[in-house]
Structure 1
Amino acid sequence: MIALAQTWWKRNLINLTEQRSILVHVTGDRIGDALIKWPAIVALKNAFPAHRLVWLAGLRKSVFNGTLASVAAGVIDEVHDLAGVGVSWGELVRPPFPGRFDILISTEPKIRNAILLRRIAHSVFISPAANFLLSDIKPTPGTKFPSSTFDQMRYLANLAAGRELRVEPTIAVGAGNEKLAHELLPEGFVYVGFAPGAGAARKRWPKARYIELARNQVINGRIPVFFLGPNELSMREEIARAVPKALFPEQEPLATKKRSALLSIALAQRIALGVANDAGGGHLLAAGGRPLITLFGHTSEHKFKPPYCKQIAITAQEFGGTEMKLIPVSRVASAIEAVIGGEER
């Protein structure tokens, strides 16, 4: 239970019978960040079920307006992105973002964001900036704001609710997606998932290593399943030629017209284990709840740890640097055997 240092009148402002809207501000969100935060976002909505939850991406696009729109449906009521809010001192000469909000949460610990967002009409303002200096609700003195993305969002949601919220680290994919996933990846086989993509080249383990690893799985009697995003579709022909038994369920005719993030997660629920770079595709696999081996180069395995599953982090730093190519296939293959090899025996 989080103990809150707050006055009785601020506590009274957070009243389920009086409040009608909550605004959550981020600079922008990509697939990975959004999926990591998602269970805490759902917990916040469940704590205030009658309130409109408004998501405001101040600078960049929000995946809740795109790739993850199907996930957001029924939880986030409005999404505003590319809003130009909470990101530049030049906003001081413009009117603030319209509307009045019962709770306004600035998720990032930037003092500039906090100062700019406090201009928006609100009853209660929550911000971790400058150790919650400008926040109407403050944590117990001496407590530290978490470093991981998930724990940060959960911490802010708990402050807004005034109590420790129940967080369920699952995503409901729907019966239709579950049925389709079973058709695409039927019972009777051991599937190992691979997500070889990443937005930045320096976050990608070499494609040839994924191919070698997939071949090893075939030798061990398992079926490699590749999860390819729009930017990785060009890999399919080469991978299919090198690993003829590999499956690409998201590109099957049965799936192409129904493709969504929820279908990807439903498919991820069907695998025994996944291997991925620290990128959006890996977080989609993680949301399936199965064990995930994540490969890290220069990024932090602690900050971006998913809340849905057991994660095995393999870092380039184990091998003397930050370049992804330093991670050998043998290290990843051993990790796979440690997770699922014993189960098969």
Structure 2
Amino acid sequence: MTVARPDEPVAPLAVFSHGELIGDAMVKIPFLRGLRALFPDRRIVWITTEETHLETTLAPLIAGTIDEFRSNTGIGTSPLELLKPLPERQRFSLVIDTQTLWWRTLIARRFRHDLFVSPCASYRFSERKPPPDRRRPRHLMDRLFGLLEVAAGRPPPVEPLRDGVPTPPDAAAEARALLPDGATYVALAPGAGKRHKCWPLDRYIALGREQAVRGRVPVFILGPGETEWMTALREALPTALFPLQDERVGEPRYTPVRTIALTRRCAAAVANDSGISKMFAVADIPLVTLYGPTDGDKVHPKVTAGTYLTAQRFGGTAMDRIPIAAVDGAVESLISAGHTD
């Protein structure tokens, strides 16, 4: 372990990750903001084995957090790299390893560093560890924030994402045109990457009807694989809006920034366990998330105001176990509590 001389500038800080698909990248936005808050004057370098959507798709939402990306480095591709020279030669004041595969952690530990911190194998390979009596958090976000606390020696500040992640002005203006002032909107996202994670569409329709009866406008956030549902939804809910399918929207049509901006125009949202639920979480509006086979206790979005419902709570793992009354009641509780703009 090397130590900088007093007259030397502090070396950069490195975060090592295998890479971030879009869902993983959105989950890590609070981590990035906490990291920057703990190290406001440190140059932060994000190093990945593969690509990261933090560098590309989500760049407008993380401005000012990461100074440099070194993506697709190939570092951590194979355990055989332990037998070869490490291609990265820069020294870092701190290396934070966010992944937990042991041999990849050993590779990351070879970065030249003053301090190496990793949660792998209960911090077995880390040069700084949490107190021995601290239990491993169940929720993934709590684990990431615990990693930051170990690295910095103090907990990161927690701020609402709605305040800390601004909507780009052009996206905000477009969202205002698509969802004008004067109505109360409720966002509904009936899709998911896998259909067994979807609450039945007829229940989303029933929920949308309840919102319409109360004078609100259902706003369906549909991805490219869900446009086949539009005919049925339009027939059942004539007042519903489909902003991502609006003819005024340009290409690329389905972007996280646009979805987040639209969602921030809504009073509340409902989503399945999906990438859209993660976008709703970044939007940080009152949110109800629905889980079937997934462990909701471990992965539910961390939002300022929200709740999650699991099929297990109603005696099974299939999404149709979740009753309409429970979801409708959760939405009403959030809206009536005043968790809206």
**Range class of TM-score, shorter chain:** 0.7 to 0.9
Equivalent position to 1:142, from 101, 110, 133: 133
Aligned CA-pair RMSD: 2.9
Say if 1:45 and 1:75, in contact at 8 Å, map to a contact too.
Answer: yes
Distance in 1, matches of 2:201 and 2:9, equals 54
Unaligned residue ranges in structure 2 (runs of 5+) = none
Residue by residue over 1:194-232, the C-alpha shift from the partner in whole angstroms, topping out at 9 and shown as x without a partner, is 112222232222223222322232233211111123333
- Residue 230 of structure 1 aligns to a residue whose secondary structure is coil
- Deviation, structure 1 residue 342: 7.0
Equivalent position to 2:272, from 247, 266, 277: 277
- Residue 290 of structure 2 aligns to a residue whose secondary structure is strand
How do 1:2-17 residues align onto structure 2 when only pairs under 5 Å count? none
Distance in 1, matches of 2:4 and 2:309, equals 46
Equivalent position amino acid for 2:185 in 1: Y
Equivalent position amino acid for 1:75 in 2: T
Q: Which residue matches 1:124?
A: 115
Equivalent position amino acid for 2:170 in 1: G
Q: Which residue matches 2:76?
A: 86
How do 1:21-60 residues align onto structure 2 when only pairs under 5 Å count? 21-58=12-49
Equivalent position amino acid for 2:103 in 1: R
Say if 2:286 and 2:303, in contact at 8 Å, map to a contact too.
Answer: no
- Deviation, structure 1 residue 278: 1.5
Equivalent position amino acid for 1:89 in 2: P
Distance in 1, matches of 2:108 and 2:215, equals 55
Residues 56 and 145 (structure 1), Cα distance of their counterparts in 2 relative to 1, 3 Å cut? farther
Q: Which residue matches 2:297?
A: 302
Say if 2:37 and 2:157, in contact at 8 Å, map to a contact too.
Answer: no
- Residue 139 of structure 1 aligns to a residue whose secondary structure is coil
Equivalent position amino acid for 1:140 in 2: P
Distance in 2, matches of 1:324 and 1:81, equals 37
How do 1:195-274 residues align onto structure 2 when only pairs under 5 Å count? 195-257=189-251, 260-274=255-269
Distance in 1, matches of 2:246 and 2:103, equals 47
Distance in 2, matches of 1:202 and 1:78, equals 39
Report the more deviating stretch, 86-95 or 185-194: 86-95
- Deviation, structure 1 residue 50: 4.0
How do 1:148-187 residues align onto structure 2 when only pairs under 5 Å count? 148-170=139-161, 171-187=165-181
Identity of aligned residues (%): 37
Distance in 2, matches of 1:323 and 1:13, equals 56
Say if 1:36 and 1:304, in contact at 8 Å, map to a contact too.
Answer: no
Distance in 2, matches of 1:168 and 1:149, equals 18
Q: Which has the higher contact order (CA 8 A, sep 6+)?
A: 1
Unaligned residue ranges in structure 1 (runs of 5+) = 1-8
Q: TM-score, normalised by structure 1?
A: 0.85
